[in-house]
Structure 1
Amino acid sequence: GSVTSAPPIWYHQFLCDLSKYFVAILRAKGTLRPPERQALFGPWELIYGASQELLPYLEGGRWGQGLEGFCNHLELYTQFAANVERSRTILQEQLKKNKHFRRFVRLQEGRPEFGGLQLQDLLPLPLQRLQQYENLAVALAENTGPNSPEHKQLTRAAQLISETAQRVHTIGQKQKNEQHLQRIQALLSGRQAKGLISGRWFLRQGWLLVVPPRGEPRPRMFFLFSDALLMAKPRPPLHLLQSGTFACRALYPMGECQLHRVFGHSGGPCGGLLSLSFPHEKLLLMSTDQEELSHWYHSLTLAISSQKN
């Protein structure tokens, strides 16, 4: 019932309006150079074309045939996802430095068709929509009996759309990870910092207290990747060039780590420590926040098990 009740008219209208009021006018006016315009919108118009093709089938209840045809266009969504980061960068750059473009965008965003949404909110819509197509195809396939002529079409479509949605998700995860690495790169000063983190998979970062064999616990910033734990020390605030950055102190391989929780440690208010043993060194880590320590324990466990496989 509810799955098939609302054909995606509003979404199709958005695709249409953005093509009409942004892409087409920008092409005609030449406010952006073609390479920038293409990078900003990616295969938007082709996705609009695919939606246009699908719509009459959905409106006529010919789901199987419509979705089967739609699957020929799924590659567009992967391309669109791969371009998201570049598109966002171009949009920010052009809004900053191209005042004609900035004025044009603000003017078009004010149109009632866009319901107060900004261009940056509108651009990711096709990827959100893909998720809904997946839900639709899966639900239809499940609710269509094996004897129905559409069963095969719908099952195949559900599978193909799910695979594409998974690819799109993976692309998004990689882009997020890349952003984390760039951010961490900026925090770590020193020539070797770049080599230390490029190509790694980021999991967590935060302050923890390192408990030495003697003396007071010292706060250190830790960056956990799937294969390594990086310990860094804040640069002194008086260090003019590198204030607010961290110097890498050690890089521990997670594949060689043995992790234990040490409870009932009387020295700290948190009542617990994490003990990390490596072949040549042992780290005792403490946090005044019990919940934070649990999160770290979970993330470290995840990293260690990912290295065992």
Structure 2
Amino acid sequence: MSVYPKQYADVNIVEEQRAKWEKKRIRTTKELIETERRYFEQLELVSMYFIEILKAKGTLKPNIHDAIFSSIKLIHSYRAYFVLICVNQKLLVVYFKIQIKKNKSFARFKKLQETRPEFRGLVLEDLLTLPLQRIQHARKRENYQNIHRVQKLLKGRKTMVLASGRWYIREGWINVLHPKSKEAKQKMVFLFSDILLVTKPCHPLHPTNSNKFSCQAVYPLLECSVDKVFGYTRSQGGLISLTFPHEKLLLMSNDQEDINDWYRSLIESQKGADWVIITGAIQYHSLKTLQTMQLAN
């Protein structure tokens, strides 16, 4: 009995699957292009009917005008997303509401412009928050992809990484010393916003898991205390102490920059998912800027 018909059938199945993937790729590309087109058309409304006209009329003071619209102008000009813009978007909405109450001329102009047919029922508040929504959506998509990737790297399904509200922070090889161990061992560690995953590579000759990792421990970070024991100076390497309610762990590295990065990441993880998305330094700087502008006004 010939085996060729079965081989041809297998080839056809593969080709059909490839054709389906290609159609899906083309459809997704078209959807992304159309979404981008609508997005920048909406930004154009803000630029055309608010930014330039308000600047020419002098309805808003220059510093107030920049506080509300500067990030929109930057995105519209360069088609770029920045963490700083993400922070400013949150702040400008608060400042925008203050101006609506205090500046009656601006409030009337806003209401008049929003009646234009081009806005299709949208209000300025909706348009100002578009960049923030886009950035958050992109970050969530990237986060899901990273968590899904880590899940596929783990052997079996006993350890479930996919969880609502969990954010991926970083991963890497680092020496881990358990108090009960006599020596530090190199482990692949995955850090998330709420847990620390310590794993070891599966045997390279394993028939199905040779490129995967076996989870050895999952440490909740809610009640974890992070301390840098060594590494404050410019000397080589450092050591981080992680203290949990019933256990203690030491992370060691001969690379000064690497241990510093791990320390910063662990500190960030303790501050929650919001801090993972936007760094505290930028938040602090932007809040101070807002307070200064409010006082000046």
* Bin of the TM-score, shorter chain as denominator length: 0.5 to 0.7
For residues 90-111 of structure 1, what are the alpha-carbon distances to aligned partners after superposition, in whole Å with 9 as ceiling and x for unaligned? xxxxxxxxxxxxxxxxxxxxxx
Aligned mate of 2:193, from 199, 223, 226 = 226
Q: What is the correspondence of 1:231-246 to structure 2 with a 5 Å cutoff?
A: 231-246=198-213
Give the drift of 1:198.
Answer: 3.7
- C-alpha separation in 1, matches of 2:43 and 2:272: 42
Aligned mate of 1:197, from 156, 162, 165 = 162
Q: What is the correspondence of 1:21-170 to structure 2 with a 5 Å cutoff?
A: 36=24, 38-42=27-31, 44=33, 63-64=48-49, 131-132=75-76, 159-170=125-136
Give the drift of 1:263.
Answer: 2.1
- C-alpha separation in 2, matches of 1:203 and 1:54: 31
The answer for unaligned runs of 5 or more in structure 2 is: 1-18, 54-71, 80-88, 90-95, 100-104, 115-121, 276-297
- C-alpha separation in 2, matches of 1:308 and 1:293: 23
Number of residue equivalences:
205
**Residues 252 and 170 of structure 1: is their aligned pair in 2 closer, same or farther, counting only changes over 3 Å?**
same
For residues 176-195 of structure 1, what are the alpha-carbon distances to aligned partners after superposition, in whole Å with 9 as ceiling and x for unaligned? 011101211221112213x2
- C-alpha separation in 2, matches of 1:232 and 1:218: 11
For residues 50-109 of structure 1, what are the alpha-carbon distances to aligned partners after superposition, in whole Å with 9 as ceiling and x for unaligned? 978998x89xx9x217999xxxxxxxxxxxxxxxxxxxxxxxxxxxxxxxxxxxxxxxxx
SS at match of 1:196: coil
Give the drift of 1:229.
Answer: 0.5
Q: Give the AA of the match of 1:223.
A: F
- C-alpha separation in 2, matches of 1:50 and 1:206: 37
Give the conservation status (yes or no) of the 8 Å contact 2:178–2:248.
Answer: no
**Residues 152 and 233 of structure 1: is their aligned pair in 2 closer, same or farther, counting only changes over 3 Å?**
same
Give the drift of 1:236.
Answer: 1.7
Give the conservation status (yes or no) of the 8 Å contact 1:64–1:153.
Answer: no
Give the drift of 1:168.
Answer: 0.9
Q: 2:280: which partner in 1?
A: none
Aligned mate of 2:176, from 192, 210, 217 = 210
SS at match of 2:183: coil
- C-alpha separation in 1, matches of 2:171 and 2:163: 16
Query: Are 1:248 and 2:192 an aligned pair?
Result: no
**Residues 132 and 53 of structure 1: is their aligned pair in 2 closer, same or farther, counting only changes over 3 Å?**
closer
Give the drift of 1:285.
Answer: 0.7
- C-alpha separation in 1, matches of 2:43 and 2:263: 48
- C-alpha separation in 2, matches of 1:303 and 1:49: 36
SS at match of 1:293: helix
**Residues 261 and 65 of structure 1: is their aligned pair in 2 closer, same or farther, counting only changes over 3 Å?**
closer
Give the drift of 1:218.
Answer: 0.1
The answer for unaligned runs of 5 or more in structure 1 is: 1-30, 69-127
Using the size of structure 2 for normalisation, the TM-score is 0.55
Using the size of structure 1 for normalisation, the TM-score is 0.53
Give the conservation status (yes or no) of the 8 Å contact 2:174–2:252.
Answer: yes
Q: Give the AA of the match of 1:64.
A: Y
- C-alpha separation in 1, matches of 2:222 and 2:229: 21
- C-alpha separation in 2, matches of 1:66 and 1:271: 51
Give the drift of 1:227.
Answer: 0.6
Q: Give the AA of the match of 1:203.
A: I
- C-alpha separation in 1, matches of 2:231 and 2:40: 61
